[in-house]
Structure 1
Amino acid sequence: EECFILGVTATPLSSNISLPMKEIYNDLIVGENIQSLIDKGFLAEATTYSFNVNLSSLKIGANGDYTVKSSEELYAKNTMQTKLVNAYESTSKGKKTLIFNNGIQTSRHVYEVFKSAGYKIRYIDNTNTKEERKNVLSWFKNTPDAILTSVGILTTGFDEPTIESIIINRATKSLALYFQMIGRGSRIFDAKTEFSVLDLGNNVSRFGLWTSDIDWQLIFKNPTFFLENLISDDEIERNFRYVMPDSIKEMFANSQDIDFDFDVKEEYEIVVKSGQKSKAVLMKSIEQHAKICAENSEDVFDAHILSRELHDDIEFRIKQYSYCILKSSNNYIKWLEEDYKRQLRVKISQLFH
């Protein structure tokens, strides 16, 4: 009855919203922050790369986080798999990499995509036997440029200091999970003093950088207030700015840089002030996209194939347009994207006749 209980954690925020830590512990003693531990040489420095993702299709489950089902539906798409590979190749190619996903099927898809691309990759999840896990982790430890794709089994209780890159191929509303995933790459090892973090879930926009100052006392005392005041996905996406990857831009080498610039909000204001219909914005955008496809293709067939590389740019422009006209239902946005691509194909064909 007189015992004293001491709990130790790096992330004093329960992952279960129905079991806040303040109902178990009376006080919180906060240690040194992450930046201080980096400065003193206890943790590696993280270089963070964020890749914008449209999360409007994700659903929130009873635990307060995104459901596995809705995450699987989004992250298993070919466009997301391509975005993941491009992100890896542009920032982490050749580095020992650990990928976190929100679902076994997504992780298996990731495995197949990277394997097909010729990379050394294996997967690990709760379907593996104890012996299989041991073999996979041994392989990962001893293979310099290994890629390991996983779900949640390695977020805690796993220590592999040779990891050079962490890819968060999922979105989460759990601050604790966010810190745990990044923490897997923070171990100091020999000459290793830094590692990469690739965010494909808008998590940095939601929580801030791993090294950001956090008021843990406030979170401990008022976890519900903290969770309810996280920036919404819609607000995050309103502040997106699309930057075409160099690998795609190279495919449009015959076009000038000015041909890639298109500010939907600015064009919308011009259209409204001139008394035109709002869809004039999309028509102008379509003309620009058709122009760069034609400039970089030998014939109409090549141009149509090249236009597929504009998927992310089109998706971004449509989303920004929906904010301008205050209509952002998923079905309407999907219809706009399909109609945009149809009209783009027509416009491209016209340019070659």
Structure 2
Amino acid sequence: MMLRPRQREFVTRSIEALRLHGNTLGVAPTGSGKTICLSGTAGEFLTHPDAKACVLAHRDELTAQNRSKFSRVNPGIATSVFDSHQKSWAGQATFAMVQTLVRNLDQMPTLDLLVIDEAHHCAAPTYRQVIDKTLARNPKALIYGVTATPNRGDGKGLREVFSNVADQIRLGELIRSGHLVSPRTFVIDVGTREALDWVKKLAEDYDMNAVASIMNNAPVNEAVVRHWKDKAAGRKTIAFGATVAHAEAVRDAFLAGGVAAAVVHGEMSEADRKATLAVFETGTTTVLVNVAVLTEGYDYTPTACIVLLRPSSYKSTLIQMVGRGLRVVDPAEHPGVVKTDCIVLDFGTASLKHGSLEQEVDLDGFETGGEAPTKTCPACDAEIPQASRECPLCGHLFEREETGDEKAALEDFVMSEIDLLKRSNFSWCDLFGDDCALLAAGFKAWAGVFFLEGRWYAIGGHGTVPVRLLGVGERTVCLAQANDWLNDLETDDAAHKSRRWLSEVPTENQLRYLPPALRGDFGLTRYQASALLTFRFNKHAIQRVVHAANQHHLEAA
């Protein structure tokens, strides 16, 4: 597989920081391909056959997922697993569960590189034991961490482990590149804002019982339902309540308003939680109200509305909650679902406290390559990316003067898209010169985006695999899904931008199969001819898939 250009930059900066400092942290949120970046960086330090690395995670599913993606990025590097089921250090890269490893540290070999996935956990005692043992065995061992949310809920910084931040992919980059949908935030005061401002903080967050005493009453809950119907009716919705009683009351208000709703919380059994989530995902439940159980690790991509019914002490928590609704939809998994944005209804004022999510993701500038500018955090002396408004290591907030526009209506969110046609690993051909049909081809696969009746469709083909629908909706999102299809199936050798045949003349065989009108086009290149022939040979299949998807959407609407 191939890395996206932005992922390559992340890997390059991580490698440089590790060589310079001996440790570094990379911040990569939902949708960035964090595991791919982690794998690309680790693979660089395992080119020597005697080099040894351990990739640390805290859940079985993360260990398996990391190993699988690592092998796709680095197919020539042997891997092994050290967890409760198997304990092997045979591979150059070993994927370990921290809970198991910390009980068997005497078995851990000398490491050249320790990689910590979800690195915000590294302040925990178990992680520190592994880190300390690694450095005791080899003081020159490199420590590399990757996380989406570096600022912990308990306020502990990561400065004791990491002296610098190599790179930080921002949500705005992923939205502009089509790898996440755009959030549209509405901060709504239902007469509780002033009272919420007086709620005290406890050890890790606001006093949620105090929040519930303000938010959990019939007029407020009815207003929540009313505003949801006005701005997000019918959307799959995840709401975040303050307490179990609050969540149940909000659920009852939705039910009374004729909206199918349910509750999940930590006091439920695992079986009950799974059953409730299953009903939400199969379509029966529209609104799912939760209490601190869906903040991270749950991604049901058709979710297109987030309702915040509680404040948040940390911006990372706010981003995690909103992130549940930002992932794009795979039409193969969810036929007929078209998602172009995510409505965020904030009744708990978290957006006002932290600066709305739009401000967070609307970057002052976007680095497209080269050396990343940095600055020094005045609170902990860490070297961090220039664009950071909050130090990922200690949480220090950098002051930023708000303009009148930023203080205005929060629902207005304008984002200029990143031109994926220029940043793609592949050369994209405008098949008919009208920007309504674009196609790129590799050695094994091809992908195209096509416009029909106000909507874009991403289509992909691969060998004998039937032509399939990759995405439906906005142009940028479809281009991103088509690009990822090619990146996933091709290797670096197939990136046609660097290949000679981009500008060579068509072959005789190509000209034989092209329409007569194109045979006399003396500006036609060999690659353009290949793209045109790919479309011609797959035209009927493409039309069938696009029209079927369009009809499915019309029927669903």
Structure 1 and Structure 2 fold alike (TM over 0.5): yes
Is 1:44 the counterpart of 2:181 in the alignment? yes
Partner of 1:13: 151
- Three-state SS of the structure 2 residue aligned to 1:29 is strand
Q: Which residue matches 2:286?
A: 146
Deviation at 1:213, TM superposition (A): 4.1
Q: Considering only CA atoms, is the larger Rg found in Structure 1 or Structure 2?
A: 2
Equivalence for 2:375: none
Provide the rounded CA distance (Å) in 2 between the counterparts of 1:16 and 1:147. 30
1:193 maps to what in 2?
340
Which amino acid in 1 is paired with 2:391?
A: I
1:96–1:163 CA contact under 8 A, matched in 2: yes
Aligned residues: 231
| Aligned counterparts, 1:84-233, within 5 A | 84-143=224-283, 146-189=286-329, 190=331, 191-213=338-360, 215-216=387-388, 218-220=390-392, 222-223=394-395, 225-226=396-397
| Structure 2: distance between partners of 1:61 and 1:48 | 25
Tell whether the 8 Å contact from 2:195 to 2:214 is kept in structure 1 after alignment: no
Q: 1:145 & 1:135 partners in 2: Cα distance? A: 12
Unaligned residue ranges in structure 2 (runs of 5+):
1-134, 332-337, 362-386, 402-406, 410-557
1:73-106: CA deviation from partner (whole Å, max 9, x where unpaired): 0111223212211221111111111101121111
Higher relative CO (Cα under 8 Å, sequence separation at least 6) belongs to: 1
Is contact 2:150-2:393 (8 Å) kept? no
Query: Is it true that 1:56 corresponds to 2:195 in the alignment?
Result: yes
The one-letter amino acid of 1:226's match is L
**Equivalent residues in 2 for 1:265-284, closer than 5 Å:** none
Query: How large is the Cα RMSD of the aligned pairs?
Result: 2.6
Amino acid aligned to 2:151: L
The two structures have a TM-score, normalised by structure 1, of 0.60
Query: Aligned in 2, Cα 1:219/1:31: closer, same or farther, shift over 3 Å?
Result: closer
1:34 partnered with 2:206: no
- One-letter amino acid of the counterpart of residue 9, structure 1: T
- Deviation, structure 1 residue 59: 2.5
Q: 1:136 to 1:230 in 2, by over 3 A?
A: farther
Give the secondary-structure state (helix, strand or coil) at the position aligned to 2:165.
coil
CA contact (8 A) 1:161 1:187 kept: yes
For the residue of structure 2 that corresponds to 1:30, the secondary structure is strand
Moved more, 110-119 or 50-59: 50-59
What is the alpha-carbon distance in structure 2 between the residues aligned to residue 197 and residue 174 of structure 1?
17
Which whole-Å CA distance do the structure 2 matches of 1:194 and 1:38 have between them? 10
Contact 1:48/1:199 (8 A) holds in 2: yes
1:207 counterpart letter in structure 2: H
For residues 113 and 161 of structure 1, what CA distance do their matches in structure 2 show? Answer: 25
Q: CA deviation at 1:177?
A: 0.6
Q: TM-score, normalised by structure 2?
A: 0.39
8 Å contact 1:170–1:200 — kept in the other structure? yes
**In structure 2, C-alpha distance between the alignment counterparts of 1:168 and 1:218, rounded to whole Å:** 22
Q: Is the 8 A contact 1:94 1:145 kept in 2?
A: no
Is the 8 Å Cα contact of residues 100 and 167 (structure 1) preserved in structure 2? yes
Superposed displacement of residue 186, structure 1: 0.4
Partner SS for 2:280? helix
Equivalent residue number for residue 511 of structure 2: none
Higher mean alpha-carbon deviation, 60-69 vs 154-163, is at 60-69
Give the secondary-structure state (helix, strand or coil) at the position aligned to 1:196: strand
Matches within 5 A, 1:233-252: none
Extract unaligned runs of 5+ from structure 1: 232-238, 242-353
- 8 Å contact from structure 1 (residues 95, 144) kept in 2: no
Q: Matches of 2:359 and 2:212 in 1, distance apart?
A: 29
SS at match of 1:7: strand
> How far does the alpha carbon of each residue in 1:157-204 deviate from its partner, in whole angstroms, 9 at most, with x for none?
111101010001111121011000000000100332311111111222
Contact 1:158 1:184 in 2 (8 A): yes
- Please give the per-residue CA displacement for 1:15-42, whole angstroms capped at 9, x wherever unaligned: 112x112233222223322121111111
SS at match of 1:88: helix
Q: Which has the higher strand share?
A: 2
Alignment CA distance shift 1:217-1:30 (3 Å)? farther
State the AA in 1 paired with 2:224.
L
- In 2: Cα distance, 1:240 partner to 1:195 partner: 20
Aligned residue type for 1:205: L
Preserved contact between residue 97 and residue 145 of structure 1 (Cα < 8 Å): no
Counterpart residue number, 1:279:
none
**Which protein has the bigger helix share?**
1
Shift of 1:54: 1.9
